[in-house]
A = this chain, B = another copy of it.
């Protein structure tokens, strides 16, 4: 492209993005006062359109896969990208499930009266316009659309180029569903180009119309968004999750939980990366747990005591304690009781999800109170770190920041509140 053409294309993109922002803002205003029934009706219409459009979605997905294969994509990448008829049916069913969830909008978190007679309520309202920037998972298109609509927010979606055909085909179904239900198209929009400059416009806030950005993808995407965004970001960073096995742990429970936490799916953010074993329970727990991991095909990297229980254990270095492997590798070390576990997690953890296995109520309560992570579990697998497992119907990610929302982000987490104050002529003295 010559310089003039490039300039004109840039100006065109800028204008398109501003128009999307304005349409989203207008739609958000409509959505904020829409009834739960209207929103549910729209979600059901979208589910219907997804089923009708399944063939077109699959053929668009085939184009994405073909292109990815010519570019040498890994099997794991293709796995994230590929859709099937079952996957599309699951999307439709998921949207119907979101439609049936309780509508968070308009509910009161708290209500109280003041001595002067003022009645105050803290009422849930939508955030407004949410921009979701994601990579190669086409299903984020529908999860984000459904959760934003449920929570009364307008969504602006931006899918990476590798899944863009699939995302556009899914979005076409969303658009038809909105139209059929009589909702403005601005409720859910998608950026139709793979031009990376579009992301820059979104991060700048589209002229003040974007209230929140949710990046969903690899670390480089999230880092770029956090660095450049001029509006608030709800980000998902590392999940360096721990299982601590207390000396009081029931061995069978410990084994089941550790194996599940590590090996059920090694690539999810809730997968455990480090096992901490109570030094006082090492004689009972260390060898069976380490061997169970090794026998399940997990590489174990351990401290000296852990290396001594099985020749297959490799030595752990300092970096291992910080690492989110997302692979069949687990770091293992002894710690001095629950206090030692808490100290290790405070130093090396990422405040995502951490579990204790224990039959000792004092140790359990200390762990649950003092481990400062978004999710802390007792006697359960870290792989429960998931919005659906929490009963949220769907999630748009797991928030690892401390502000606004922590842990699974469902419809409720995409809301904010306002104070509604009812008086009878009160003035302030």
Q: Which residues of A contact B (CB under 8 A)?
A: 29, 32-33, 106, 109, 112, 114, 118, 120, 125, 127-128, 211-212, 232, 250, 252-253, 256-257, 259-261, 264, 346, 368-370, 372-381, 383-384, 386, 389-391, 401-404, 406-407, 416-428
Q: Name, among A127, A259, A369, A402, the residue most crowded by chain B CB atoms within 10 Å (CB to CB).
A: A402
Q: B residues within 8 A CB of A426?
A: 379-381, 384
Do A406 and B422 touch across chains, with their CB atoms under 8 A apart? no
A206 to B32, CA, bound (A): 39
Do B260 and A401 touch across chains, with their CB atoms under 8 A apart? no
Given A212-B403, A407-B418, answer yes or no on A379-B253 (Cβ-Cβ < 8 Å): no
A370 to B29, CA, bound (A): 8
Chain B residue with Cβ nearest A426? B380
Copies in the complex: 2
Given A401-B232, A402-B212, A404-B404, answer yes or no on A380-B118 (Cβ-Cβ < 8 Å): yes
Q: B residues within 8 A CB of A256?
A: 425, 427
Do B427 and A369 touch across chains, with their CB atoms under 8 A apart? no
A115 to B1, CA, bound (A): 58
A417 to B403, CA, bound (A): 9
Do A32 and B381 touch across chains, with their CB atoms under 8 A apart? no
Do A257 and B370 touch across chains, with their CB atoms under 8 A apart? no
- In-complex Cβ contact of A427 among B112, B368, B381 (8 A): B381
Q: B residues within 8 A CB of A120?
A: 390-391
Q: B residues within 8 A CB of A383?
A: 427-428
Do A372 and B250 touch across chains, with their CB atoms under 8 A apart? no
Q: B residues within 8 A CB of A391?
A: 112, 114, 120
Q: B residues within 8 A CB of A372?
A: 29, 32, 125, 128, 418
- In-complex Cβ contact of A260 among B250, B264, B416, B428 (8 A): B428
- In-complex Cβ contact of A380 among B260, B370, B386, B421 (8 A): B421
Q: B residues within 8 A CB of A33?
A: 369-370
